[in-house]
């Protein structure tokens, strides 16, 4: 099941770029394989490096609808897979008191009374979709098991109804911030893709693609500065989304070149903890005085 735009890693890369997602070779290769092998991709990495964006860009590229399941602690079957619309069932029973129970039972357990939740919806869709299971590390291990059937066989078993098999195979992307170790069973079924912080060159390109009106020199400087800031031992190193915010801020302020002063003044956009801000700004000023001293 090959789509236009997914027929080779290079095509994937070029295609994602059209939707402002700059994939490196590795990302392109894994996405390509996922489509070829019909396997889900498990994307892991720090917050804000574009894990969710990948799924969105992929949906745009493949021209598919994106179905998103946002995970949270306490997510259960009725929110992830399906739920019986029991109110409608009750109404049905009350409206039709005369018919026999056996017939009624058959009636109320049909697809009409089923409320599909994201996983079932992705399976039942007649058009192929992209299914995004976001922050899968937030659910408990037990809940993870709910997804296994969907992920490996692309089917959902409903006791009253039977097994719903996917009409079209969805492209599945799972994201994880690695707050906990996912189960082996889940990992085994997926292609694993770790997205870390990008290289200076790639970050520069991302900035140019994402921030309108940013000139190349400033983008280059921002990317290099951000890389430098990441080298510190920080509680929360700035990620791509933060450097994009920073670029936008600098642009709005009409900055053409970043010097120590502007960098210090706008650090709060890049860093989220006062301690981190102190650390970096202290270091920036010491660099300045070092050079002045010599």
Partner 1 sequence: MLGLLTGFIQELRESGIPVSMVEAIDAAEALRFTDLSDRPAFKATLGSTLVKNARHYEAFETAFEVYFALLRPAPGDHADDVPPEERPRKSASSAGGGGGGQADLDGLLEALRRALTDGDQGLLRAVARRSVARLAGMEPGRPVGGTYYLYRTLRRLDIDQILEGLLAAAGTSPDTTALETRLLREEYEERIEDFREEVRAEIRRRLVADRGREAVAKTLRRPLLEETDLMHASGDELMLLGQVIHPLTRKLAARLAQRRRRGRQGRLDFRRTVRRSLSTGGVPLEPQFRSPRPTKPEVFLLCDVSGSMATFARFALQFVYAMSGQFSKLRSFAFVDGIDEITGFFEAGAAFEVALERVGREAEVVWLDGHSDYGHALGQFWDRYGSDLTPRSTVIITGDARNNYRDAGDDVMAAMAEAARAVYWLNPEPRAYWDTGDSVMSAFARHCDDVFEVRNLRQLESFVEGLALPRRRIGRLRTEWKPAEYT
Chain residues that interact with partner 1, rule: CB under 8 A? 9, 25-26, 29-30, 32-33, 36-37, 39, 41-42, 44-45, 73, 86-87, 90, 94, 178-181, 184, 187-188, 190-194, 200, 221, 224-225, 227-228, 231, 233, 235, 258-260, 263, 273-275, 279, 284, 287-288, 290-292
Q: How far is the CB of 126 from partner 1 (least distance, A)?
A: 27
Q: How far is the CB of 15 from partner 1 (least distance, A)?
A: 16
- Which residue, 29 or 175, is less far from partner 1 as judged by CB? 29
Q: How far is the CB of 99 from partner 1 (least distance, A)?
A: 19
- Which residue, 33 or 65, is less far from partner 1 as judged by CB? 33
Q: How far is the CB of 59 from partner 1 (least distance, A)?
A: 20
- Which residue, 126 or 233, is less far from partner 1 as judged by CB? 233
Q: How far is the CB of 83 from partner 1 (least distance, A)?
A: 13
CA dihedral 139, 140, 143, 149 (to 10 degrees): 80
248-259 burial string, b = 16+ CB within 10 Å, else e? Answer: bbbbeeebeebe
- Which residue, 7 or 65, is less far from partner 1 as judged by CB? 7
Q: Please name every residue paired with 41 in a beta bridge, in sequence order, or none if there are none.
A: 173, 191
- Which residue, 65 or 149, is less far from partner 1 as judged by CB? 149
- Which residue, 167 or 183, is less far from partner 1 as judged by CB? 183
- Which residue, 37 or 100, is less far from partner 1 as judged by CB? 37
Q: What gap in Å lies between CA 27 and CA 224, rounded to an integer?
A: 22
Q: How far is the CB of 190 from partner 1 (least distance, A)?
A: 7
Q: How far is the CB of 200 from partner 1 (least distance, A)?
A: 8
Q: How far is the CB of 36 from partner 1 (least distance, A)?
A: 5
Angle between helices 9-18 and 51-62 (to 10 degrees): 100
| Phi-psi domain of 74 (left: phi exceeds 0; alpha: psi -120 through 50; beta: other) | left
- Which residue, 126 or 179, is less far from partner 1 as judged by CB? 179
Closest CA to 54 of 16, 24, 25, 3: 16
User: Is 67 exposed, middle or buried, given 0-12, 13-18 or 19+ CB atoms closer than 10 A?
Assistant: buried
Closest CA to 50 of 191, 201, 240, 209: 240
- Residue listed under structure tokens 């917050």: 47
């Amino acid at each position: 099941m090959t789509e236009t735009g997914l027929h080779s890693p290079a095509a994937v890369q070029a295609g994602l770029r059209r939707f402002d997602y700059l994939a490196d070779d590795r990302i392109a290769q894994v996405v390509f394989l996922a489509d070829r092998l019909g396997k889900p991709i498990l994307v892991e990495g720090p917050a804000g490096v574009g894990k969710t964006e990948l799924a969105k860009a992929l949906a745009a590229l493949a021209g598919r609808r994106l179905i998103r399941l946002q995970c949270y602690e306490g997510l259960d079957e009725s929110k992830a897979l399906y739920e019986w619309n029991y109110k409608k069932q009750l109404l049905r029973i009350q409206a039709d008191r005369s018919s026999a129970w056996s017939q009624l039972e058959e009636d109320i357990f049909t697809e009409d009374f089923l409320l599909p939740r994201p996983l079932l919806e992705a399976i039942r869709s007649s058009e192929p979709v992209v299914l995004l299971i976001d922050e899968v590390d937030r659910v408990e291990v037990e809940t993870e098991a709910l997804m296994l059937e969907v992920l490996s066989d692309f089917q959902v078993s409903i006791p009253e109804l039977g097994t719903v098999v996917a009409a079209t195979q969805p492209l599945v992307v799972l994201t994880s911030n690695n707050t906990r170790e996912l189960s082996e069973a889940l990992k085994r079924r997926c292609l694993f893709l770790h997205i870390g912080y990008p290289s200076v060159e790639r970050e520069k390109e991302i900035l140019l693609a994402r921030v309108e009106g940013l000139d190349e020199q400033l983008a280059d400087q921002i990317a290099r500065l951000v890389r430098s800031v990441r080298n510190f031992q920080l509680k929360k190193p700035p990620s791509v989304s933060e450097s994009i915010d920073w670029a936008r801020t600098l642009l709005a302020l009409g900055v053409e070149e970043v010097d120590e002063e502007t960098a210090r003044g706008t650090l709060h956009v890049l860093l989220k903890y006062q301690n981190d801000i102190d650390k970096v700004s202290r270091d920036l000023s010491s660099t300045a005085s070092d050079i002045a001293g010599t």
